[in-house]
Amino acid sequence: MPRPKQHTVTLTAAQRRRLEKTASTGVRPAREIIRARILLALDEAGGPAPYRRVVAERLGVSEGTVYKVAKAFNDQGGDAGAVVARKKRATPPVAAKVTGDVEARIIALACSAPPEGRARWTLRLLERQVLLTEGIPPLDHSTIGRVLKKGLSNRT
């Protein structure tokens, strides 16, 4: 005798229509389409759903994927849209070194008088000066060039 299902999926009519639209139009990422099809296959609103193994074979995914989608549906409180859609990243993977304050200080440095014996600032001179300046993280000369290109291009 098989074990009882741990995570059951029961969709409302509105959720079912939205998932059918997602699965049939083909304008969504493949993972969203697969997840929508899994939820549609596991829906027990009209009667008992087939076993996960059967759903996995029909859709060409692993049984673990079917389990994870059903578990996510229950963890999200029955919100099919949250299960199907991609999660937005809360923060970028690496914090930006160049913030608005750093950018302003680099532009101000580039607009100041060059060191004695020099006619103008070069990117490598600016790089050395940035290393000596407190409050500005060490930046490569190419990064300084990008900051200046972006910041000085709209000067009048």
pLDDT tens digits, residue range 70-115?
999 999 888 888 888 888 888 878 888 888 999 999 999 999 999 9
Indicate the burial class of 114 (C-beta count within 10 angstroms; 0-12, 13-18, 19 or more). middle
Q: Do 121 and 110 contact (CB within 8 A), yes or no?
A: yes
pLDDT at 1 over 60: no
What percentage of the chain carries pLDDT values higher than 90?
A: 55
The model's confidence at residue 17, banded by pLDDT at 50, 70 and 90, is very high
Which residue's structure tokens are 């994870």? 68
- Full-prediction pTM beyond 0.85? no
